């Protein structure tokens, strides 16, 4: 079983579905000859041909619209947006067409399409390359929003996203693309969507995160353990719709919750999780729900990037504050 990076796991999943489902097609800017900005589709056009791996013009609205049309006619397009910050011209197609197709046609049609996009900071990218705007898509009924945190989850969740009968926004934490390796068996086994993963059992506090911030969160759990604090760590993975039950069950066990996110604090996924826990787990809480976030400002250029993103130290400090609450 090979040890692969997250970006290699994405390539494996795409190749598996192209091999086993003739309705799957890939499209995007420079994904064919060049294999994409981060090489997620490297070699796939040579292997599966130009009709299955399609280079498009630089036109995100067209990419999304073409995907909507293909998906309503029995195909399963997987579109790549080079960076999440470039997706905004495609939102009209995604929000007013893809997300509503099942409801609009009373179930006669749907949009089994996936939009992949690298997101988040940490690679010293220029403006519009580092946004973490997952809450924007999670707010739209009809869209699923999935964010893998490691190679094995990228493989299994992307397979599930492609096989899903409804549109999925699949956000890839580019800071993690080549950060770690996992052994991933290329067996076509999908992970469940709409399910949180409990990555570490604990009894004193629940740390909740997703995407790239899972790595700082797990490191923070290690630091807390050195001080005798047992942290349970949950990878949300699918941020819309949320698996609230797993989150509530964990908080019922630990009595404390700390949410870690890279996105700006206001109006974010962390806000929704906090609201759900306030409604459904308040009688279990021993301390206020905590949040460690980015800031309510534009992601800064690289010199201040680390100041913006939650650090292990910020997570540990906030967790200890919640532990000392009386």
Could you list the active site residues? 129
The secondary structure of residue 81, as a DSSP letter, is -
Residues 213 and 216: their CA atoms lie apart, in Å, by 5
- DSSP secondary structure string, 2-45? -EE-HHHHHHHHHHHHHHH-TTEEEEETT-SSS--TT-TTTTHH
For 203, 220, 223, 229, 314, the CA distances from 226, given in Å and listed in that order, are: 15, 10, 5, 7, 16
Question: Cβ(288)–Cβ(281) under 8 Å?
Answer: no
- H/E run at residue 93: helix 91-93
Angle subtended at Cα 271 by Cα 269 and Cα 275, rounded to the nearest 5 degrees? 120
DSSP letter at 100 equals: T
20 backbone dihedrals φ, ψ, rounded to 5°: -105, -10
User: 256 near 285, Cβ under 8 Å?
Assistant: yes
Dist CA 114 CA 234 (whole Å): 25
DSSP H stretches of helix in 174-261: 213-226, 244-254
């Amino acid at each position: 079983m090979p040890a692969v990076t997250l970006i290699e796991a994405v390539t494996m999943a795409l190749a598996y579905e192209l091999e086993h489902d003739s309705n799957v097609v890939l499209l995007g800017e420079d994904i064919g000859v060049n294999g994409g900005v981060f090489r997620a589709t490297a070699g796939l056009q040579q292997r599966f041909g130009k009709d299955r791996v399609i280079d498009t013009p630089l036109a995100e609205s067209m990419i999304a619209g073409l995907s909507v049309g293909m998906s309503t006619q029995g195909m399963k397009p997987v579109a790549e947006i080079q960076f999440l910050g470039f997706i905004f011209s495609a939102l009209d197609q995604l929000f007013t067409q893809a997300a509503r197709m099942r409801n609009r046609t009373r179930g006669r049609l749907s949009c089994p399409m996936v939009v992949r996009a690298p997101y988040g900071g940490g690679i010293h990218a220029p403006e519009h390359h580092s946004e973490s705007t997952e809450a924007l898509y999670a707010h739209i009924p009809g869209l699923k929003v999935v964010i893998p945190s490691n190679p094995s989850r990228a493989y299994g969740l992307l397979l599930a996203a492609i096989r899903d009968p409804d549109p999925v926004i699949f956000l890839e934490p580019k800071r993690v693309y080549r950060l770690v390796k996992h052994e991933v068996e290329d067996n076509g086994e999908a992970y469940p969507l709409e399910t949180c993963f409990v990555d570490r059992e604990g009894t004193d506090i629940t740390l909740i995160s997703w995407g790239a911030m899972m790595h700082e969160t797990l490191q923070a759990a290690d630091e807390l353990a050195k001080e005798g604090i047992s942290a349970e760590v949950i990878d949300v993975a699918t941020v819309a719709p949320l698996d609230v039950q797993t989150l509530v069950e964990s908080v019922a066990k630990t009595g404390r919750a700390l949410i870690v996110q890279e996105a700006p604090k206001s109006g974010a996924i962390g806000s929704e999780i906090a609201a759900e826990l306030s409604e459904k787990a308040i009688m279990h809480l021993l301390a206020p729900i905590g949040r460690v976030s980015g800031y309510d400002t534009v992601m800064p250029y690289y010199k201040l990037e680390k100041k913006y993103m939650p650090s292990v130290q910020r997570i540990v400090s906030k967790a200890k504050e919640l532990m000392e609450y009386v």
